[in-house]
Amino acid sequence: MKIAYLMYSGRKYYDIIPVCRKLARQGDHVFIMVSDDKARDEVTVAVAGNRRVHVSRKLEFAQEGDLSLARGTLLQIRDALDLEEEHFDYFVNLSEGMLPVKPRSEIVSFLEENPGDYYYVDRSEKDDPSLRKKTLKYYAYTNLLAFPKSRWVRWNTKAFSNFLNLLGVRRKMDDEILIGSPWFILTNETAKVLAENYAYCSDQFKLSWYPEEQVIQMMINKFLPGHPHINKDLRVVGPNGAWIEGQGARALTQEVLDAHPEALFGGTFFETDNEELYKTMLEKYNEGYVKKSEDKEKEITSDEFNDFVDTLKRR
């Protein structure tokens, strides 16, 4: 089995590199959007010898709550499918700071024994008519860097969306509206359908509120009607373990992790005060694996890296 991991990060290269290398060690591939310009260049150099780590270039910036994340994730799926020499059995998206919480061998065994598409639908507009009113609004400030965590920006975003709605400025959408967790584990066949219909995301979800919580669910419902799926995201996210609408992964504690033994992935580990927990989870994926000689990547020497950094400084 081969897995394509779809990631994004706005952190420094020294936080990004260890995660990419750990996930790619056993033959899986990592596709990562790096939002910081300097970090993106540094990551590109640092993974130059690893053919299984791909720095996204078609769309480089991504953040939760903004169309950039949903659109960028679909572009990463397309990039993965375009690798003629590779076939991926599953596509897994990981938010910034999210890591596997079980060894790869256990994750692979689980998916082999329980094949299918994993994503979570919380409700549809049939259950909650107000969901359509919320989805049809335009939220003008979602692409601000402060949007995911600034209460002031989020309040103003909602206030302005209400103003536009009163003026009759709202999107037209005929499809059934669904909402659920932004995280998924999708088969190759389903991923191909999403990639083929990529334009739907941009056409329907410009200036949306957390479009990543609706795009996958609605696209599969539209382009694969009646397609069966397992209504779980198999993630544990802090502080309560379960996905919360309009909020990405937050700091995860050992206690919450222990309370969700069914989870395959969890996070975020970057924001936790427990550094040992982060280190443990970073090593968890390759637990019990003996590195083969053919898995060795070409390492960039410190001199080569320092020369590159000096070049950046002179720009």
Residue 198 forms part of a structural domain: yes
Residue at 309 is within a domain: no
Is 158 contained in some domain? yes
Quick check: is 218 in a domain?
A: yes
Query: Is residue 308 domain-resident?
Result: no
Burial track 254-270 (b if 16+ CB lie within 10 A, e otherwise): eebbeebeebbbbbbbb
Closest CA to 282 of 130, 124, 121, 100: 100
Give the pTM. 0.90
Nearest Cα neighbor of 93 from 17, 201, 200, 181 is: 181
pLDDT at 310: 56
**Is 305 a member of any domain?**
no
Instruction: Give the integer Cα–Cα distance in Å for 68 and 101.
Output: 27
pLDDT digits (tens, 9 = 90+) for 103-134: 999 999 999 999 999 999 999 999 999 999 99
Residues 53-86: tens digit of each pLDDT: 999 998 889 999 999 999 999 999 999 999 988 9
Please check whether residue 303 lies inside any domain of the structure: no
Instruction: List the CATH number of the domain containing 168.
Output: 3.90.550
Domain count, the chain: 1
- Look at residue 304 and tell me if it is in a domain: no
Positive or negative: CA dihedral 164, 165, 167, 172: positive
Residue 200: φ, ψ to 5°: -60, -35
CA distances 263 to 69, 100, 173, 232, 256, Å, are 23, 9, 34, 10, 11
User: Which residues pair with residue 31 across a beta bridge?
Assistant: 6, 54
State which residues form the domain around 89.
3-292
